[in-house]
Amino acid sequence: MVKFLKYLLASFIGCFIALFLLFFILIGMMGALSSLADQPVTVSSHSVLKIELNTEIVERTVESTFPNIDYTTMHSKQVMGLNKILAAIKRAKNDHRISGIYLNLTTIPAGFAIVEEIRDALADFKESGKFILSYSDEYTQKSYYLASIADKVYINSSGDFLWRGAGVQMPFFKNALDKLDIEMQIIRHGKFKSAIEPLIFEEMSKENREQTLSYVGSIWNCVLDKIAEARGVTAEQLNDWADRLEIYDARTALKKGLVDGLVYYDTVLDELQEQTGAKSTDDINFITLSKYIKADKLSLKKEEKQKIAVIYAEGNIVMGDGTNEITSEGLSKAIRQARQDTAVKAIVLRINSGGGSALASDIISREVSLATEAKPVIASFSEVAASGGYYIATQADIIIADHTTITGSIGVFGVVPNFKNFMNKKLGLTFDGVNTNRFADFQNTMRPLRAEERDVLQRSVEDVYNTFLTCVSVGRNMPVEAVDEIGQGRVWSAVDAKRIGLVDEFGGVNDAIRIAAEKAGLDNYSIEELPKQQGALEALLSSLSEEVHTRVIHAELGDSYRYYRQMQNVLKMKGIQALLPYEIEIY
């Protein structure tokens, strides 16, 4: 026994020392990576800004002492912030060292609204007289939408180019839940509140199909109009070609005038050489977007004392505090901080959220209302600002959105899952207990709801919906009855939302900042981004604490991971939700 304890103690000490040394080795490696990441970036004369948007695009880049590293795999996380992309294009417009932009686009992992903002930034860049040239071995509809702003659009002669129209597809979980013997008990308000349809139906309801076709059609029309303007065709022609499937490869795209030539990359290099005056194609000074962003970072102007706070609200809305989602405490604190800071003269609330907890949304909405009493507050919608995402914007002075933003969905619902049969029949588990009162175990997920409990939940849903209506009514200066008519959980495109009074103007985050400056009477100002991001050590610990099995599943499932995530979110739903019907991805 003594020997056993001796060996056990020695093993324990050995493991401790090994882990201790490993920790410092890890810190050293990250320090080295950080040092490499912070190396100065020089922009040569006659440079070409090369833009490849093949990585995940989020609302803002995570600033860290260390580069974007997944510390569980030690691989780089390929993520880029829209804020940095827009800032880089804006700076390149007036940078005498940048001769033009080369777009190398295939698949863009972002929604149409984010692509629209980048496209608008490129349109502004063209006003400088500098060139934009686009080339790809293949274009998706989304990448072509962005590429169409270029002066010249080229494609490989054997490249893919399929013009087919827009659509969405959503998963329905009813059959899967039935097989698992899981009953989702639904309480809702709003004939269009289709967030619960995947739980109880096998296909879209008539109302859901109506609203989905409406907003997808509206977004598609906006895309057609902008491409038509850029390429000298009509939106009707573009639509007709999609209906007839007349554009299905590079050659048919050239025939219809959507591209300017079928070429190989060497031909593109020859043209870039001519545009920049380089001695040879090897002498073309390419600078990638990520490197140009770092060059931008190292040459920032002196910070102005007067500030505009840009507060980012991205992800699901939940109660509590945290960094990976929109939390009632975290976002409220950021808004309060901006309100109380006398140097902050205006606030831009940048929203990219399909909603979540109704209570958390209401708490955040209150903070926005208080902020408007102190200074101008402009809400800027990204890809989606619906349900709870719209709720938190209702009290803003002005709401602006991209043409392709999805918004509205003024409605609420409640879900109480019943796992009794699943536990009994699938796992062989039974549950028993005692209660002092009949309803002491109200919302117990191991039994069905009683009639009285359903009545209470229905009243709660109605109360929350009426509160939502009132918030929209006050914020948008509309009668409650009018809000109810356009509410009922219906989802709208931003174009229709502007028509019915839910949105004031079209534009992106830069337009929101400009309007905020005008409202505050500012000519010179600096931007403060909130909430404050994690420090290096916090980011490291947060990354290490993320669930490893989720990463593994994500890697295995690839694009299908979103269906798994949706199923997980369904089973985690608790309380009354102000949530968009489903995760919308328009192709």
CA 431 to chain CA mean position, Å = 41
Strands (E), 20-110: 47-51, 56-58, 69-70, 75-76, 79-81, 98-104
Of 378, 353, 420, 474, the residue nearest 58 (C-alpha): 353
For strands 412-418 and 183-189, give the pairing: antiparallel
- Token pair of 465 as six digits: 């919906």
What does DSSP assign to residue 423?
I
Contacts of 408 (CB under 8 A, 6+ apart): 386, 390, 486, 487, 490, 491, 492, 497, 502
189-225: b (≥16 Cβ within 10 Å) or e: bbebbbbbbbbeeeebeebbeebbeebbebbbbbbbe
What does DSSP assign to residue 250?
H
Q: How far is the C-alpha of 195 from the C-alpha of 198, rounded, in Å?
A: 7
For strands 98-104 and 131-139, give the pairing: parallel
Burial class (CB in 10 A: 0-12, 13-18, 19+), 556: exposed
Contacts of 9 (CB under 8 A, 6+ apart): none
Scanning the structure block, which residue is given the tokens 């009794």? 420
- Token pair of 296 as six digits: 């931008």
Other CB atoms closer than 10 Å to residue 43's CB: what's the count? 18
What interhelical angle do 235-244 and 206-231 show, nearest 10? Answer: 120
Q: How far is the C-alpha of 566 from the C-alpha of 549, rounded, in Å?
A: 16
| CA distance between the termini of the chain | 67
Q: Which residues are catalytic?
A: 193, 387
